[in-house]
Structure 1
Amino acid sequence: MEKVTCECGHQNPYGTELCERCGKPLKEQQQLLNMRYEGVARRSQTYNRSVVDKVWNFFSSVKVGIWIIFLILVASIFGTIFPQEMFIPPNVDPAQYYGEEYGIAGEIFYTLGFHNLYGSWWYIALLAALTTSLIIASIDRVVPLYRALKNQRVTRHKSFLSRQRIFGESDVASQDATYEAVKEGLKKKKYNISEENGNLVAEKNRFARWGPYVNHVGLVLFLTGAMLRIFPGMYVDENVWVRDGDTVPLPGTDSQYYLESEGFTMETYDEDDEMYAEALERSGGPITETYRTEAVLYERVDGNVVGVDSEQQKVKSHDIEVNDPLTYDSYSIYQVDYKLNELYEMDFELESEETGEVYGDFTVNLFDPEDSYEIDDEREVTIHSYFPDFYFDDDNEPSTRSSIPDNPAFIFAFDGPEVEGTEHRFVGIQQNHPVTEDPVYNVSFAGIDTNHVTALTVRKDLTLPFLMAGGAIFMIGLIQGSYWTHRRIWLQKRGDDGFYVAGHTNKNWESLKRDVNAAIDGTDIESPEDQIVKKEESKKQSASADDRADTGEADKGGR
């Protein structure tokens, strides 16, 4: 792009609105100058040829950034219609849960991925687009703005000064004395003074101009932390159920860590304690004081392969209680739920249907049942079908709601010398029905063994430093740009008998006016005018004159 040469001889990059040396507008303008970016040439307004230029210009647009934010907000709103997957019961299938609980709307919610909104690829893509927009838009503006402010000249063209909102010119008796008086007045107001050829520019709080860009840095860090949560090992928040005596791999650790529950206990407040007597009486029953899981953490020894009987070494023991997690290697394991006396094993006896003679017994592990059980040398019981949580489906066929044995039921098959072939029998809780006509064998319930189950949440969050740093930096930028204003006051000689006075700030103009009036107090310089206020007053006076003229014409017509 060809550079634009100002009448002062300085060559400005294409797209520059104000000369970088003298400040003279390079385009004819009747209104006040737009000082937002000091009139510098921004890349997005200069180049639009290559693919890189078009991508840069797209993401540098404020409108594009606002639309991306709007889409993120709309998606977040839809994500709150129903609970996220992390808030539904941990032992249910999400694909079934949303349909059963919320009907067709729930199925659509699950199908579109709103059940895991903040981890979905398209939501992360929106966050990435917003992050890209913030980075490009900031670079597109902050680099030329920094260059313009750092290299700004003291002496400015008259058209630059006269098109500032605060502007005035005055005759003075002595330029030197007036100059020194105004200079001292500005120093008392804590302005930084730069001088050139008998002119000066007083500046204060330039750092406030960088507040929005500090905000952007904080937002970029915060969004980066949010996006890092999809990477393995950066963020874990998953539940695991552990039965007493069992050892299970911890979710989110790639089978590196295993947890054993040596026992779950629940303690209640002592009914004989006078301190809690009134509360216990109001509750009508015992009140839980403590949930506790006696946990042992193991780590897979290096060199073992996942899925093989790997060797594990104990790394830590801890009694996990509410608000007292087991912590190790950035992981924290919290107590969140429990289930007392869950069905664990069921004992059965095989007997004669006719005489009641018992041939033998067998025990079924409800979580890992065997295919068959040998009663004696001649008789065998086989599990034909197993329904851990039995119910009849819409087709009136036996089915199970989940793999948890809340209502176990079996279809047993029997082989023995008393029968030809194989006979079957349906056995459940308080249910015992022969499937084969003229049954020979019967299975009777002989006993049950229960177990406590503890629910733990495994958490790991390596993105938290990004989120905290981003939030802190964002607040710094917000304070920086909200409580301070960038102010500049120009005092420039007009020939040998007067001065031009101009002022600019990005907000709080009344405060700038007070600073200017305080600096020129006691000198021959008249208070400069606020050109916007002057223009509005002029419009009001013109409108008032028109009203009077219309009223006069009406009176003449009436007479």
Structure 2
Amino acid sequence: MEKVKCDCGHVNPYGTYLCESCGKPLLDDNQSLADMRYEGVARRSQTYSKSVVDKVWNFFSSVKVGIWIIVLILLASMLGTIFPQEMYIPAGERASTYYEQEYGVLGKLYYQLGLHTMYSSWWYMLLIASLGISLVICSLDRVVPLHRALKTQRVTRHKGFLSRQKLFSKTEKMEEPEKSIEKAEKVLKEKHYRIFKEDGNILAEKGRFARWGPYVNHVGLIIFLIGAMLRFFPEMYIDEHIWVREGEQVVIRGTDGEYFLRNDEFIVELYDEEDERFRESFERTGGNPVVKTFQTSATLLKRINNEGPIGLGTEFEEIMQYDIRVNDPLTFDGYSLYQVDYKLNELSEFTFTLQRNEDSSEEDLSDIQFTVDLFNPELVYEFENGYRVEIFQYFPNFYINDQKEPDTLNRIPDNPRIIFEVFTPEMNPDTDRGELSLVGVQVNEALNGDNNYRIRMIDVDMNHVTALTVRRDRTLPILIVGGVIFMIGLVQGSYWYHRRIWLQNRDGEIWVAGHTNKNWHGLKKDFETITKNTAIPMPLDQTDDWNLIEEVEGVKGKDDSSTSK
């Protein structure tokens, strides 16, 4: 795999098809037209294949491999949108039960395959990283040799190079070919070509920067992929949800306990049902109220003493008060709080009283009342007269599971059930068994048979709950830079094209050749301008007449069938 030295003296890497300097064909491939896709240079992936590094390089340098990686990413991304990702399921729901309950067998399979957290899974990240590696290797495998070939190209090219160009012709011997070349040079300068001269020959070049458009695209995509992968680091990207009840103060997720939010008031405005302008909207919703707007009047708090756990001694500083509405977030210190959802009249507290059954003694128990916080209930309620009520079991969202046992769907009290155990003053809670009662909304059942005591609900407290999205995106500038670079490369490679025209004086004959990476019609129009102002003829399109190559290079031994194509 030694380097190849051309007759012109230039040393080419092993596997070079056209000399990087003079363009002489170095490999006899019996092709009629020169392969100018990468200037005939040797690419690493096509010349080295022995070591492990070579094999990895060759694998990722393949455009087919890159396309298959993109197809796999698209298919995986489609799978991830069949059902909501875990971050978007209702707050308090357990993913292990939610998908099966909501979507049946397919939902259970979706969860078991790990598709509910697909975009942060190791294999999806591996696909993204593989695409980035493929882009880097594909670009380096092509752009480095291409840049070297264009940089070292000579003005005077080998006749085998010129004759194998798609647009080529030569004149008969002329008395003063130099004057025709000078006129052509003037015409090309007017068309903003860059002129290079050598021994009376010229190379007119225009739009070389367009050749780098695809590689600029790749750079933009690589930066964009890096930004996308950085979104999985909490310091770079946060997208969390918090539910805050009226009057409640909660820590803002992702701020390491530094910032808190207090929901001072939640407001919902509805459209007037009597307004004729909204009659169609009410009809579409079946007569249900149509929300006009909803907002959270909130106070942002900052923890002053950041050391130690949050407790009764924690001090806060009010930073600001703000009305958070849809598309009008509260923004602070790089974070933004967006209004995304709400829930009206959520159960918050139950107030109970203890009563004797009708056939029991008439002891007054009216002073035995207690309130249960449905989100953080106390386990024991003791009273001065010696009575004691304990929460034996609590099911915030009650249901019967597959094992025919009581269970809870989540921690949200949408259907609360509480099993109370009542102890009288004569009982010892450590040794005696109290009376068990199952209590809930319109539910009050004795679990010991005939109980002497009954727990009755006397009051219900409800709250409005607001849902906010906490977002911080430090990757956005990276994504914007990657997108801008990608668009620059797209425009660069789409609206410009690399054109080259060679005019050489060979013993009184003018050899004319032209090449472009696209838009051959535009190059032909430039040749037409030269033809009108000089004695240089319009070059022939050799895809229509291949016999000219055989005539110039003196190819022998081809039958009539090959020369008549």
Amino acid at match of 2:347: L
In 2, are the aligned partners of 1:269 and 1:276 still within 8 Å (CA)? no
- Map of 1:35 onto structure 2: 36
Distance 2:448 2:71 in 1: 65
Question: Residues of 2 paired with 1:528 and 1:85: CA distance?
Answer: 65
Structure 1 position 480 matched with structure 2 position 492: yes
How far 1:269 sits from its partner (Å)?
A: 4.2
Change (3 A) 1:281 1:43: closer
Determine if the alignment matches structure 1 residue 449 to structure 2 residue 461.
yes
Q: Distance between the aligned counterparts of 1:302 and 1:43, measured in 2?
A: 60
Q: Distance in 2 between matches of 1:125 and 1:356?
A: 73
Query: Which amino acid in 1 is paired with 2:7?
Result: E
The residue that corresponds to 1:416 in the other structure is: 424
Q: Give the aligned partner of residue 261 of structure 1.
A: 263
Pairing 1:26–2:56 present: no
- 414-423 vs 98-107, which moves further: 414-423
CA distance in 2, matches of 1:382, 1:281: 48
Gap change, CA 1:478 and 1:263, over 3 Å in 2: same
Match of 2:292 in 1: 289
**Following superposition of structure 1 onto structure 2, how do residues 175-254 of structure 1 map, counting pairs within 5 Å?**
175-254=177-256
TM-score, with structure 1 as normaliser = 0.90
Number of equivalenced pairs: 542
Following TM superposition, by how much is the alpha carbon of 1:129 offset from its aligned partner in structure 2, in angstroms? 0.8
Where 1:291 maps in the other structure, the secondary structure is strand
Deviation at 1:531, TM superposition (A): 0.7
Equivalent residue for 1:518?
529
Superposition deviation, residue 302 in structure 1: 6.3
| Counterpart code for 2:506 | R
Partner of 2:326: 322
Q: Distance in 1 between matches of 2:281 and 2:140?
A: 64
Between 1:284-293 and 1:195-204, the stretch displaced more is 284-293
Question: Larger deviation: 341-350 or 307-316?
Answer: 307-316
Match of 1:335 in 2: 339
Letter in 2 for 1:236: I
Distance 1:406 1:234 in 2: 36
Contact conserved, 1:202 with 1:488, CA < 8 A, in 2?
Answer: yes
Deviation sequence 1:121-155 (CA, Å, 0-9, x none): 21111111111111121122112211221222101
Instruction: State the 1:437 CA deviation.
Output: 3.5
- The Cα shift of 1:223 comes to 1.0
Change in Cα spacing, 1:287 to 1:67, as seen in structure 2 (3 Å) is closer
- Give the drift of 1:218: 1.2
| Unmatched segments (≥5 aa) in structure 1 | 547-559
Deviations 1:464-513 (A, max 9, x none): 22222222221221121112111100000111x21110010111212212
Between 403-412 and 9-18, the greater mean CA deviation after superposition: 9-18
Q: Give the letter aligned to residue 259 of structure 1.
A: L
Deviation at 1:389, TM superposition (A): 1.7
The answer on 1:160 being equivalent to 2:161 is yes
Residue in structure 2 matched with residue 119 of structure 1 by the alignment: 120
Give me the whole-angstrom Cα distance separating, in 1, the residues matched to 2:511 and 2:5: 25
Deviations 1:273-331 (A, max 9, x none): x6867678767465433312121222334641456664433323211111211111121
User: Cα gap change, 1:4/1:342 in structure 2, threshold over 3 Å: closer, same or farther?
Assistant: same
Q: CA deviation at 1:192?
A: 1.1
Q: Distance in 1 between matches of 2:160 and 2:232?
A: 55
Distance in 1 of aligned mates of 2:371 and 2:78:
52
Mapped to 2, the partners of 1:322 and 1:197 lie a distance apart of: 72
- Shift in CA distance, 313/182, structure 1 to aligned 2, threshold 3 Å: same
Cα-Cα RMSD: 2.7
- In the alignment, is the contact (CA less than 8 A) between 1:411 and 1:425 conserved in 2? yes
* Alpha-carbon offset, residue 115 of structure 1: 1.8
1:300 match = 303
Asked if 2 retains the 8 angstrom alpha-carbon contact of 1:389 and 1:405, the reply is: yes
Determine helix, strand or coil for the equivalent of 1:479: helix
Taking a change above 3 Å as real, the CA distance of residues 355 and 483 of structure 1, as seen in their structure-2 partners, is same
**Alpha-carbon spacing, 1:20–1:281, altered in 2? closer, same or farther (3 Å):** closer
Identity level (%): 54
1:88 Cα deviation from its structure 2 partner = 3.3
Q: Is the CA contact (8 Å cut-off) linking 1:205 and 1:484 kept in structure 2?
A: yes
Deviates more, 1:330-339 or 1:303-312: 303-312
Which residue of 155, 173, 176 maps to 1:174?
176
Alignment equivalent of 1:436, drawn from 427, 440, 448: 448
State the shift of 1:419 in Å: 6.1
Q: Give the equivalent residue in structure 2 for 1:532.
A: 543
SS of 1:524's equivalent? coil
Q: Is the 8 A contact 2:86 2:116 kept in 1?
A: yes
After TM superposition, the structure 1 stretch with the greater mean CA deviation from structure 2, 301-310 or 94-103, is: 301-310
Describe how 1:14-163 pairs up with structure 2 within 5 A.
14-31=14-31, 32-163=33-164
Question: Aligned with 2:492: secondary structure?
Answer: helix
SS in 2 for 1:534: coil
Task: Answer yes or no: is the 8 Å Cα contact 1:280–1:286 preserved in 2.
Answer: no
1:504 corresponds to which of 498, 501, 515:
515
Are 2:376 and 1:368 equivalent residues in the alignment? Answer: yes
1:199 Cα deviation from its structure 2 partner: 0.1
Task: Give the partner amino acid of 1:480.
Answer: Q
**Partners in 1 of 2:61 and 2:22 — Cα distance?**
28
**Separation (CA, whole Å) in 2 of partners of 1:417 and 1:27:** 105
Residue 349 of structure 1: CA displacement? 0.9
Distance in 1 of aligned mates of 2:530 and 2:382: 105
**Mapped contact 2:93–2:411 kept (Cα < 8 A):** no
How far apart, in 2, do the equivalents of 1:203 and 1:302 lie? 69
In the aligned structure 2, how far is the partner of 1:169 from the partner of 1:93?
79
Range with greater deviation from structure 2 (360-369 or 38-47): 38-47
Conservation of the 8 A alpha-carbon contact between 1:271 and 1:280 = no
Counterpart contact for 2:282–2:290, Cα < 8 Å: no
- Provide the residue aligned with 2:557 in structure 1: none
Q: 1:397 aligns with which of 384, 390, 405?
A: 405
CA distance, structure 1, for counterparts of residue 170 and residue 510 of structure 2: 6
SS in 2 for 1:338: strand
Deviation at 1:182, TM superposition (A): 1.3
Counterpart of 1:381 (choices 378, 389, 397) is 389
Return closer, same or farther for 1:391/1:20 CA change in 2, 3 Å cut-off: closer
Asked if the contact 2:390/2:422 (under 8 Å) is kept, the reply is yes
Consecutive aligned runs of 4 or more in structure 1 exceeding 6 Å deviation = none
| 2:13 aligned with 1:13 | yes
Structure 2 Cα separation of the partners of residues 401 and 477 of structure 1: 52
